[in-house]
């Protein structure tokens, strides 16, 4: 699977661990930064990550910031993106099954590395159920 990943400074260390996991599972990863713990602005990394998904260059995305909120807010400005802020595996599963989420947003300061990796695995292991959920998902975009 082709996966785009991006983060701000608060998510940098967790991003490196997620990349290791994904590479070990033989996914193709495109890293949109950031590339250190130096302070940066999360939209600068959310937007190119999401543009790569909207264009079809990547299938899914993972975004990480301190709370997960800011980076998912930036991501959800894109009409083709459905970013879900997840802090539990069940939330990630339902985001894929019911909401057809195509971007996982993680709160680096509020989940352990172990929990984050488990959330990533669940997010990637599930697919949209469609059915009754499709009508609702089709109403998300405002344009």
34 is catalytic: no
Through-space distance between the first and last CA atoms of the chain, rounded to whole angstroms: 29
The residue annotated as part of the active site, out of 34, 65, 78, 86, is 65
Per-residue model confidence as pLDDT tens digits over 23-40: 999 999 999 999 999 999
Per-residue model confidence as pLDDT tens digits over 122-143: 999 999 998 899 989 998 888 6
Query: In the predicted model, what is the mean pLDDT of residues 70-94?
Result: 98
pTM flag (> 0.85): yes
34 upstream amide cis, omega within 30 of 0: yes
Which structural domains are found in the chain, ordered by start? Answer: 2-138 (3.40.1400.10)
98 is catalytic: yes
Please give the backbone phi and psi of residue 69, each rounded to the nearest 5 degrees, phi first. Answer: -75, -55
The residue annotated as part of the active site, out of 98, 133, 142, 143, is 98
């Amino acid at each position: 699977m082709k996966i785009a990943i991006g983060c701000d400074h608060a998510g940098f260390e967790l991003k490196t661990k997620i990349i290791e996991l994904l590479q070990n599972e033989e996914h193709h990863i495109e890293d949109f930064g950031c590339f250190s713990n130096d302070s940066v602005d999360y939209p600068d990394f959310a937007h190119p990550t999401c543009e790569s998904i909207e264009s079809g260059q990547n299938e899914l995305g993972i975004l990480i910031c301190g709370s997960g909120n800011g980076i998912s807010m930036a991501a959800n400005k894109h009409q083709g993106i459905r970013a879900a802020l997840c802090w539990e595996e069940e939330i990630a599963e339902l985001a894929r099954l019911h909401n057809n989420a195509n971007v996982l947003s993680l709160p680096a300061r509020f989940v352990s590395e172990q929990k984050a990796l488990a959330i990533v695995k669940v997010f990637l292991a599930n697919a949209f159920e469609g059915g009754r959920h499709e009508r609702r998902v089709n109403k998300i975009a405002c344009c």
